[in-house]
Structure 1
Amino acid sequence: MNDAAPAAPVPPAPAAPVRPQYGVVPPPAAGLRFAHPDRGARWWWVGCHGGAGVTTLHAAVGAGSDDAGRYWPVPASAGPRYPVVLVARSSAAGLQAAQTAARQWASGQVPVSLLGLVVVADAPGHLPRPLRDLQRLVAGGVPRCWTVPWVEPWRLGEPPAHHLPRELQRAARDLAHLTETG
């Protein structure tokens, strides 16, 4: 008889770069936006564009996290880098904004610890092939990528925490594990 508790699931290993690639990735032309938050959080949600879904995701699985809006959260003084999760919609504009944010991080211009990217569906149903291909390309530039399907009750204003798709539950478990273990 085995009395040992089952092991907690471990998030997938990074499938792409886990640290900036200095000198390899040129800085993008788009400007950087920094904030120096004074609130303590284990990790931060960062929107790649307006309407990405940061506020909804934070409300749904915000334990230990905080909403940085569209700003890279950086410490006001030298110290540990803040863990960050990028958020973007699955539209072409959203994925291109995520690509720009990933390039900003990869160029070494942004002093954060990037945990990954959450892509939130911009419409019900499957992504068209061009968007699927673009999402795959962008995901290759970040350590991890999670996708969140369309959630109709969120659109209707119901509380996000009441309607957590299993993909978001999995991402929340992964992020809890990543931020607890460092």
Structure 2
Amino acid sequence: MIDSPRNRKKQPDVVRQALLDCATKLALEHGLSAVSLQAVATAAGVTKGGLFHHFPNKQALIEAVFDGMMENLDREIDEELEKDEGGHGTFTRAYVRTLFADRAQNNSPWSAQTMTVLADPYSKSLWHRWMNDRLIKHAATDTGTRLEIVRLAADGAWLAHVLRPDDHAGSDDASLLQELIELTDR
């Protein structure tokens, strides 16, 4: 939360980031339906008018949250790409490792974002565009049916993780991850 609107200097970047952080936190803790403009403004300590200065409507706010999450996903995947030995399946291995690393975090922002992608056509189109762009970028190493199957299996494992009840132990992530990684080498 930032200082009261009357007592702070004009720091539009700080205010914008606070709004994004609060919207992300609300979505993560209570689902996308909890992300109302008033709730975000209140949580960030700004007026609703202040929020409208940065985001003209809820859709613009949600899109900015989504863009920030995609930037984080890109960063995490790029970190995994740097660790990879390269060659066939490089992007797929980085993608799978990133999804499984996030599975280990029960409060991952991807849990809320997954539900947004499933429910919101615009978010779904952004996701598909992101994946398509990555696959074009890595076409030299990551084309083929087997690698697509591995990515789809990782997506399915992620979705099962997001949808499982809190008291469910889940699968042996280490073994599942190892099997998927081994499939990228064949």
Q: TM-score, normalization: structure 2?
A: 0.29
Compare CA radii of gyration and give the structure with the larger one.
2
Q: TM-score, normalization: structure 1?
A: 0.30
Which has more helix, going by share of residues? Answer: 2
Which has more strand, going by share of residues? Answer: 1
